[in-house]
Amino acid sequence: MSEAQQEPTPNVSGPIAKIRGSIRNLFANWKVRAGIIAGLVLTVGMGAFLLNFFWNHLVAEQGMRVWSSSADARPIECMIEDTNADGYVSCSAMLKGEIVPLECGASIFNLGCRVNYGAAAAPPLRSAPTVGAGGLNVR
């Protein structure tokens, strides 16, 4: 039996070989490699920072959408952060023409909202009857 003959690899020349060579030369420089690595590290770090910063807002908005769909209301907006560190983000929704202040959970384990009655507008009061010269006057 004869041994398997190896065919010589064709020498690639032309524009493709020049492009490959210039890319290899570019990445052979340690400064370019360090710059690419530093850029990737900065990009990942910035992404992690932004996700951490907006996480409460994203979770609260999801909870507001769930509450609004179950209450037949229209979601308006949520604050960016939990300002008083109680685990809830302040949100608002429109229910029957009235703005309802909500506190929506800032954790995925506490998804949903509660109505913030402390910030809700007081119900309108009826005016008290007044006594005039001619008797009882009701406004």
Per-residue pLDDT of the chain (139 residues; tens, 9 = 90+): 555 667 666 565 678 888 888 888 888 888 888 999 999 999 999 999 999 999 999 999 999 999 999 999 999 999 998 888 899 999 999 999 999 999 999 998 988 899 988 765 666 666 666 666 666 555 5
pLDDT for position 85 = 87
Q: List Cα–Cα distances, 20 to 10, 28, 29, in angstroms.
A: 16, 12, 15
pLDDT for position 45 = 98
| Residue 57, SS3 per DSSP | helix
Residue type, 57: H
Q: Which pTM does this prediction carry?
A: 0.61
Q: What is the DSSP letter of 13?
A: -
List Cβ neighbours of 116 (8 Å cut-off, separation of 6 or more).
90, 101, 102, 103
